[in-house]
Amino acid sequence: MDFQSFLSSLPIMGYGMAGIFIVIGVIYLAVAALKRISKE
């Protein structure tokens, strides 16, 4: 395993993980807003 390649790919993997968490947060906020709007 090329350790230098692994280290150079860490920022790319970090951006990917951050993107996943941001999308999950947006979906959570959308569901919470819809739940609050359609309260019966």
What type of residue is 7? L
Per-residue DSSP letter, 2: -
What burial letters (b/e) apply to 25-40, b meaning 16+ CB within 10 Å? Answer: eeeeeeeeeeeeeeee
- State the pLDDT confidence band at 8, using cuts at 50, 70 and 90: very high
Q: Does the global pTM surpass 0.85? A: no
Q: Which helix H or strand E contains 38, and what residues bound it?
A: none
Share of the chain above pLDDT 70, in %: 98
Q: CA–CA separation, 34 vs 40, rounded Å?
A: 12
Q: Is the pLDDT of residue 1 over 90?
A: no
3-state secondary structure of 22: helix
